[in-house]
């Protein structure tokens, strides 16, 4: 984030996907709550994972990669004391940044209908609590508002500015679906800001250069890998069921390529040098 260009962080639902993101050359990984909930529970992103489940997921992911991990910290999982603990748990997990949102409990994915907001003043206080808990540590605090689908553009912009005034490192207006909404946020909100590009929305047609030119500093692609992977799995299994063989199905990694992805060489070397 110290540079001037856009940081692109594809979403990873699990640690193996995080390794693939890193191996593809991206500078950061986004631990998406949407994907984490799907991979751990096979359920929608409606606030079902607990603080300890999410921070354990983050800890496993940071161990798997050497690039920074940006983590979804939902609403902080409770009141000020919960937020304080949440920040310290993510710090101990080794993540580079977290975002905290202003939804009322139970929360849900920002692309879903039925989002309910806490008061803007409560959102400010909670972010200030997180910033104080972070102290001098290097982890970035991202203030996310879900006001766009729940209360409209004017309220979303107002909350983004309030959260900037509270001292967050970046602001994140979630729930953007159209190019017009994205351009409005880009014009109305100064300073470092985050955009989330969800496959299937018109915003997915914009390039990373487009987003950089609009003034965004961090672009999250939370579902690109997840939707591609689950579609490929479904296709491979449909082919296996229909033909009785995986031969001729969708492209696959070889055993050797997959072994490289999970870092088997390190463990073979350790066993060669120190095993019985």
Helix axes 153-166, 120-134, angle to 10 degrees: 30
pLDDT greater than 90 at residue 193: yes
Report pLDDT digits (tens) over 140-189.
999 999 999 999 999 999 999 999 999 999 999 999 999 999 999 999 99
Dump pLDDT digits (tens) for 60-96. Answer: 999 999 999 999 999 999 999 999 999 999 999 999 9
* Sequence spans of domains, the chain: 7-229
The residue-averaged pLDDT of 12-41 equals 97
**pLDDT > 90: percent of the chain:** 92
pLDDT for the residue 258: 95
Q: What is the reported pLDDT for 3? A: 83
pTM for the structure as a whole:
0.95
Asked if 109 is an active-site residue, the reply is yes
Q: Quickly list H helices, the chain.
A: 15-23, 33-41, 51-64, 80-93, 120-134, 147-151, 153-166, 179-188, 208-213, 224-243, 255-261, 264-274
Contact call for residues 118 and 101 (beta carbons, < 8 A):
no
Q: Mean pLDDT across the chain, nearest whole number?
A: 96
pLDDT at 114 over 80: no
pLDDT bucket at 110, cuts 50 / 70 / 90: low
By the 8 A CB rule, do 95 and 70 touch?
yes
Backbone angles phi, psi at 66, to 5 degrees: -105, -10
Q: Which among 28, 100, 109, 117 is annotated as catalytic?
A: 109
pLDDT at 112 over 70: no
The topology (CATH level 3) of 7-229 is TIM Barrel (3.20.20)
């Amino acid at each position: 984030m110290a540079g001037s260009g856009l940081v692109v962080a594809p979403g990873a639902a699990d640690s193996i996907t995080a390794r693939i993101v890193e191996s593809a050359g991206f500078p950061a990984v986004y631990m998406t709550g949407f994907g984490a909930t799907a991979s751990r529970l096979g359920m929608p992103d409606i606030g079902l994972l607990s603080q300890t489940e999410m921070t354990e997921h983050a800890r496993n992911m940071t161990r798997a990669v050497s690039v920074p991990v940006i983590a979804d910290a939902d609403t902080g999982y409770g009141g000020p004391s919960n937020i304080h603990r949440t920040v310290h748990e993510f710090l101990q997990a080794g993540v580079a940044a977290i975002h905290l949102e202003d939804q009322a409990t139970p929360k849900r994915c920002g692309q879903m209908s039925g989002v309910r907001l806490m008061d803007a003043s409560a959102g400010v206080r909670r972010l200030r609590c997180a910033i104080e808990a972070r102290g001098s540590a290097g982890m970035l605090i991202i203030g996310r508002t879900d006001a766009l689908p729940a209360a409209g553009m004017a309220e979303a912009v107002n909350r983004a500015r309030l959260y900037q005034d509270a001292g967050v490192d970046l602001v994140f207006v979630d729930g953007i679906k159209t190019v017009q909404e994205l351009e409005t946020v880009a014009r109305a909100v100064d300073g470092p800001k985050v955009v989330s590009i969800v496959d299937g929305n018109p915003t997915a047609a914009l390039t990373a250069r487009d987003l950089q030119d609009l003034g965004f500093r961090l672009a999250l692609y939370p579902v690109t890998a997840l939707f591609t992977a689950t579609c490929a799995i479904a296709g491979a299994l449909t082919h296996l069921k229909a033909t009785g063989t995986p031969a001729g199905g969708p492209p696959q990694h070889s055993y050797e390529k997959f072994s490289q992805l999970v870092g088997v060489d390190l463990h073979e070397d350790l066993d060669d040098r120190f095993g019985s």
